A and B are shown apart, each in its own frame.
Chain A
Amino acid sequence: MTTKTKAAQFIKKYTMVIALVVVFALFAVLTGGRLLYPQNMSNLLLQNAYVLVMACGMLLCILTGGNVDLSVGSTVCLIGAIGAQLLANTNLNAVLVILICLAAGAVIGVWQGFWIGNVHIPPFICTLAGMFLFRGLGRVVLGSRTVSINNQLFLNIFASYIQIPGIDGDVKWSAFIVGAIVAAFLLVNTILSRAKKARKGYKMASAASAFGKIIVIDALILVYTWKLAHYKGIPVMALWVLAVVLIYAFITSKTAFGRYFYAVGGNEKATKLSGIDTKRVYFMAYASMSFLAGLSGLLMAARIGSVNGDTGTSFEMDAIGSCFIGGASAYGGSGTVSGIMVGAILLGVINQGMSIIGLDNNWQYVVKGAVLLVAVIFDVVSNHKTGKAG
């Protein structure tokens, strides 16, 4: 293989990663380095936590055949509203309130999953109905007011920072230590898995590319936790996001259950005739989506500290946009969690960067729309060219 085709392959495989690097560098320059301030780096994650979480659920919906869930923004509002009202008007323990809210999210998921999976209501219409239904219900629950959240335990669970007395002073060393441990773990894991493959005689990627990749990732982790350490440390919200992302990455790439989402998106009839319960696949896609929307509702409520009737407006578009920018196919059947995370972070960097520059909010929409369109055009065109002859 010539170096030219190798380079082309590299670019094709990591297009969005390269785009992310370029955009990040661009905004780092445009903001005069302010994007790189520890506070902004920390906020980058916090402000996009809901996107990262919901994109995972949205990926499953999109995998089933390019279907999306339009109701998630409204679900965020409804669940946030339920949580806020329970905290404000009852003496229930915050943990119990959280469980109730998550259960309510699951109930919404069962509702949507039932209609879409078992009754075959087209997802677009069913979730459009949900978009109105849950937004309306959310406002009813709020009584058209803004309800603020003062419960300290609730805020601690979602919106605090990890502080370890004795280590953390002005600089939160705990964050960097955790980063270092994770980086070391990843490095060792790579070495061990390569050793295992070598022992069994399986094919593996070249040492240069495998270690190159892991060293870049490790470096990013170290730099990022270094930044966090110089702000307030590791935000608890990061742990929630990380948990969701890891679980969904595992499900989609390693489990039979996850494989079925790809199969349904690739050929639903063939999947059904292979003895797979396609109704259940649809059901689970939408059920999990609403559950994650519920979790996002809690994350949002805790971060903002209040919930009003417009909370979560157009969040569905951020989640959907992340998936498509991150390489999920608009026809279903392909897309990865790592890909959509890149998509979500890319959108996040653009948002954050433009906000720091002070670009008008309206222009931010224009830029986001353009990025989404370009990403999908690129995906369609590049796949078409490398597709079958004729």
Chain B
Amino acid sequence: MADNILVMKNITKEFPGVKALDNVNLEVERGEIHALVGENGAGKSTLMNVLSGIYPYGTYTGDIIYEGQECRFKTLRDSEEKGIVIIHQELALIPELSIGENMFLGNERKGKFGIDWDRTYHEAEQHMNQVGLKDDATTLIKDIGTGKQQLVEIAKALSKNVKLLILDEPTSSLNEEDSRMLLNLLLDFKKQGLTSIIISHKINEIAYVADKITVVRDGATIETIDNTDRKVDEDRIIRGMVGRELSDRYPAREHKISPEIGMEVKNWTVYHPVYIEKKVVDNVSFNVHKGEIVGFSGLQGAGRTELAMSIFGGSYGTNISGELSIGGKPIKLRSERAAIEAGLAYVTEDRKGNGLVLEESIAQNTTLARLEKVCSHGIIDVDKENAAAEEFREKLNTKTPSVQQLVGNLSGGNQQKVLLAKWMFADADVLVLDEPTRGIDVGAKYEIYCIMNDMVAQGKSVIMISSEMPELLGMCDRIYVMNEGCMVAEMAAADATQEKIMAAILKSDKA
């Protein structure tokens, strides 16, 4: 019989009106990497919250058997004492504190009088070594990148004597290089006997790292697939997740690129807003035709977001120079308002932080960038506003009981649709979509791709910034590659491959 470190039996968890988990069973063998996949809202995170005691014993039914014992965790601390550590998608680190301070937060290394800082930093660096983090333990969290922050979280878990590590979407905000490093680290830990459960949307990563894959759909486990030989059929996972055939992950599109240019940028240079001597974007030129989807590939920190935001009315950077023309006419955009009026839209990668007002309704968010369209003499016509929001709700198939629903209550995919609706409502002709499918599930991704196709079919120009190369290859007509603020390659999507893109990046690094 298999040596199971964890068995979850017949777990059922209900929220008012919703059965989030329905008789879920999960078996995790000691020393394996076990992946949980499923669409957003399928119940993966709920299941892990039950396991870690965030939903205490008594609020669910069923048994948790860990290390052969039945466990009844009342708090997160109970499960951590047993060596179960969960790392959430949104990292729980405090930016203004150092790596060492964060690592032992709530678990301080105490001396005779207060905290023993020497011991804190010494132990912190030991754990950092284990995850291959070379920084000083006194470095502040805000001064290191997201990839390293993720490593700090893992080091923190190690400091708690972790036996079962749960990672919720660990790579969702990492670029490919950092993701790969993280996954390899998990494989290393596996060799040392650590058991991990990884929740992810990225099927290629799961196929790479997981020994077993459990598919969750609508609060129930569908199947557990063995992947010891790393030869799992990705389509089978997707079928299991969505419960239907997804014959093609990228919707087909008629490529009708107009010879007319939608937007052209020449010799664009941008300096960092704080360290004003640092060039963030260096002499970049590109264009996008009407009816064309152009992709921007590159590693995180390549300057793609900075480029897009600096064009969008100078909302990033200082000392911006270069020529910009929209629809063939040279133009200078001095503010976000001017950019919107010129028909440009920047759809942010950070939905919650920069995109939506979560405490306001779908209708109010939809109209925010062009409120004047539903106003007469500065007075809002609420009926007109609702009608407009309703129109986009139908068009984009946003799942919500009403457009009065607060955006904060929607799932990631539906929030992304509201964000897109907002910029479609703003009548943009050139849309810059920054990581439009980040953190949303396969089904919703497909819908977003369809929306993009509709946009170009109407003759709009779309620029898609993405860290997922397959998505760029599947959706774009042309792909630009950026690295360290420079444009390093341009290729037709038909000729492009992931290898070619990576090669372009790596070659430019040496130069």
Residues of A within 8 A of B364 (CB): 259, 262-263
Residues of B within 8 A of A202 (CB): 383
User: Contacts A254-B379, A255-B380; is A273 near B336 (CB within 8 Å)?
Assistant: yes
In the complex, the answer to whether A266 meets B358 with C-beta atoms within 8 Å is yes
In the complex, the answer to whether A275 meets B357 with C-beta atoms within 8 Å is no
Interface string of B308-324 (1 = CB under 8 A from A): 00001101000000000
User: Contacts A255-B380, A256-B378, A257-B378; is A273 near B371 (CB within 8 Å)?
Assistant: no
User: Contacts A271-B368, A273-B346; is A256 near B375 (CB within 8 Å)?
Assistant: yes
Q: Which of B326-378 contact A (CB under 8 A)?
A: 335-337, 339-341, 346, 348, 353-360, 364, 368-369, 371-372, 375, 378
User: Contacts A266-B359, A270-B355; is A275 near B378 (CB within 8 Å)?
Assistant: no
User: Contacts A256-B372, A269-B353, A274-B422; is A333 near B359 (CB within 8 Å)?
Assistant: yes
Q: How far is the CA of A248 from the CA of B109 in the complex (A)?
A: 55
Q: How far is the CA of A255 from the CA of B382 in the complex (A)?
A: 10
Q: How far is the CA of A200 from the CA of B381 in the complex (A)?
A: 14
In the complex, the answer to whether B369 meets A275 with C-beta atoms within 8 Å is yes
Contact partner, A270, options B354, B372, B378, Cβ 8 Å: B354
Asked if A276 is an interface residue, CB under 8 A from chain B, the answer is yes
Instruction: Pull 30 A–B residue pairs with CB atoms less than 8 Å apart, ordered by A.
Output: A255-B379, A255-B380, A256-B375, A259-B364, A262-B357, A262-B364, A263-B360, A266-B358, A266-B359, A267-B353, A267-B358, A270-B348, A270-B353, A270-B355, A270-B357, A270-B368, A272-B336, A273-B336, A273-B348, A273-B354, A274-B369, A274-B422, A275-B313, A275-B336, A275-B340, A276-B337, A276-B368, A277-B337, A333-B357, A390-B49
Asked if B275 is an interface residue, CB under 8 A from chain A, the answer is no
Residues of B within 8 A of A259 (CB): 364, 368, 371, 380
Asked if A370 is an interface residue, CB under 8 A from chain B, the answer is no
Q: Which of A268-292 contact B (CB under 8 A)?
A: 269-277
Q: Which of B422-437 contact A (CB under 8 A)?
A: 422
Asked if A119 is an interface residue, CB under 8 A from chain B, the answer is no
Min CB gap B340→A, angstroms: 4
Residues of A within 8 A of B379 (CB): 254-256
Q: Which of A334-390 contact B (CB under 8 A)?
A: 334, 388-390
Residues of A within 8 A of B422 (CB): 274
Min CB gap A332→B, angstroms: 9
Q: How far is the CA of A388 from the CA of B337 in the complex (A)?
A: 33
Residues of B within 8 A of A272 (CB): 315, 336
Residue of A nearest to B54 (CB): A390
In the complex, the answer to whether A388 meets B408 with C-beta atoms within 8 Å is yes
Contact partner, A262, options B348, B353, B358, B360, Cβ 8 Å: B360
Q: How far is the CA of A266 from the CA of B15 in the complex (A)?
A: 27
Q: How far is the CA of A267 from the CA of B369 in the complex (A)?
A: 13
Residues of B within 8 A of A256 (CB): 371-372, 375, 378-380
Q: How far is the CA of A266 from the CA of B361 in the complex (A)?
A: 11
Residue of B nearest to A333 (CB): B359
Q: How far is the CA of A88 from the CA of B422 in the complex (A)?
A: 58
Find the residue from B49, B341, B379 having the highest chain A CB count within 10 A.
Answer: B379
Residue of A nearest to B419 (CB): A270
Residue of A nearest to B15 (CB): A389
Min CB gap A68→B, angstroms: 19
Residue of A nearest to B368 (CB): A274
Min CB gap B24→A, angstroms: 18
Min CB gap B367→A, angstroms: 9
Residues of B within 8 A of A276 (CB): 336-337, 368
Q: How far is the CA of A376 from the CA of B107 in the complex (A)?
A: 33
Residues of A within 8 A of B356 (CB): 267, 270
User: Contacts A256-B380, A275-B369; is A388 near B354 (CB within 8 Å)?
Assistant: no
Residues of A within 8 A of B375 (CB): 255-256
Residues of B within 8 A of A334 (CB): 359
Residues of B within 8 A of A390 (CB): 49, 54
Interface string of A296-340 (1 = CB under 8 A from B): 000000000000000000000000000000000000011000000
In the complex, the answer to whether B346 meets A266 with C-beta atoms within 8 Å is no
Asked if B409 is an interface residue, CB under 8 A from chain A, the answer is yes
Find the residue from B340, B356, B357 having the highest chain A CB count within 10 A.
Answer: B357
What 7 A-B pairs come out closest when comparing CB atoms? A266-B357, A275-B337, A274-B369, A275-B340, A275-B336, A256-B371, A267-B357
Residues of A within 8 A of B372 (CB): 256
Residues of A within 8 A of B54 (CB): 390
Residue of A nearest to B55 (CB): A390
Residues of A within 8 A of B49 (CB): 390
Min CB gap A333→B, angstroms: 5
Residues of A within 8 A of B346 (CB): 273
Residue of A nearest to B406 (CB): A388
Min CB gap A313→B, angstroms: 35
Q: How far is the CA of A276 from the CA of B369 in the complex (A)?
A: 7
Q: How far is the CA of A200 from the CA of B49 in the complex (A)?
A: 48
Residues of B within 8 A of A266 (CB): 357-360
Q: How far is the CA of A273 from the CA of B309 in the complex (A)?
A: 9
In the complex, the answer to whether A273 meets B315 with C-beta atoms within 8 Å is yes
